[in-house]
Amino acid sequence: MKLSHRRHFLHLAAGAAALPAVCRTASAQTYPTRPVHLIVGFPAATATDIVARLIAEALSERLHQQVIVENRTGAATNIAAEVVSKATPDGYTLLALTITNAVNTTLYSGLTFDIKRDLAPVVGTFRSALAMVVTPSVPAKTIPEFIAYAKANPGKINYASLGHGSTPNVNGELFKLKAGVDMVHIPYRGNPIPDLLGGQVQVMFGTLPSVISYIKAGTLRALAVTSAERSSALPEVPALAEFLPGFDTYLWHGIVAPRNTPKDIIDTLNKETNAVLAEPKMKTRFDELGGSAIGGTPDDFGKLIAGEIEKWGEVIRTANIKPE
C-alpha cells in the first residue's frame, strides 16, 4: 500500500472509530428537540404533582423545551409506572417516581413491570418527613404519653390513611410494630383531614406539605416527625427516633426514564435537574413545603430506590398489608 493511501486509510479508520463518541455527543447536545412529558401518578395539587410542576417549569427553561406534567392516575400509581416502563426509551417520556412505587413492588403481586428492571434512575428530587399528628381531643402531648395512652386503650384509637399501602398506612403500621401498640387503620379514598379535625379519627402520619399549615395553626398537634433528625420546618417537634431508635422514614420523589434510555440523555437530565435543585428559589419553595432537595447521581437514586423497596417490603410482609 502506498504511503499516501495508507495514511488515508488510517485517517478513515480513526474517524470511523470516533463515530460512536461523536454521535453520543451530538445526541446530548441536541436533546431535547421537542417537549418532554413527565408522567405523574397522582391527581393535580397533590404533593407529588406540586413538586413535579415546580421542577418541570424550571427544567423547561434549562432544556429550552417545554417539560409537560401529565397526570395519569389510577391503580395506586401503577398505571403511570406501566406507561413509562413501556415507553420508547428516548428521553421524552419520564416518570415522577415516589415511595408509593417502591411500596407497590411488594404490595402488588401481579404487576407487568418491575421498577428496578424496567426503569432507569435519573435523579432524586425531593424528600420530606411525615408528621405524626393527632386531633386536639387526644390527651397525649408527647410520644411516650401517646404510647402509654394507646396501650391503655388497645384497638380504640383510629389512624387515618389514604388507602391500603399508602405512605400514611405503611408509616402507621411501622409505628405499631416499633411501639408495640394496637391502632385501627381507617383507609380513605379522599382527604381524611376533615375527619381528623373533627375527631372521627384520632391520628394520621401526614406528609408535611399536607399537614404543616394545620400544625402551625394549632388545629392539629404534631407529636413527632418520622425522619431520623428533626425537620427544619418544625424544629420544635421531636423526631420519632428520639423515642423509637431506628425509625427513619420520609416521603420522596425522583425522576426515572424507561430502561435502555441512552446514557448521555440520562446524564443531561441528571445534570440539568441537579442545577434546578441547587437554585435558591427552589430551595425556598421546598422549605415552604417542609422538605429538601435530594440530588446526586443516577446511581445514588438507584440505591435509594433499592433500599426503600427492601425496607417497605419487610413492613408489608410483617404487618400483612394487602391491596384494596
pLDDT tens by residue, 164-194: 999 999 999 999 999 999 999 999 988 899 9
Q: What is the mean pLDDT of residues 271-283?
A: 97
Residues 106-159: tens digit of each pLDDT: 999 999 999 999 999 999 999 999 999 999 999 999 999 999 999 999 999 999
Q: Phi/psi of residue 236, each to 5°?
A: -85, -10
Q: What is the percent of the chain with per-residue pLDDT over 90, rounded to a whole number?
A: 84
Other beta carbons within 10 angstroms of residue 150's beta carbon come to: 24
- Alpha helix (H) residue ranges in 108-222: 115-118, 143-152, 167-179, 193-198, 208-217
- Residues 181 and 203: beta-carbon distance below 8 Å: no
Taken in order of first residue, the domains within the chain and their CATH numbers are 35-127+251-319 (3.40.190.150), 130-242 (3.40.190.10)
Q: What is the pLDDT of residue 143?
A: 98
Facing residues of 225 across strands?
131, 239
Q: Are strands 130-134 and 184-187 parallel, antiparallel or unpaired?
A: unpaired
CA distance 250 to 227: 6
Residue 40 has pLDDT above 60, yes or no: yes
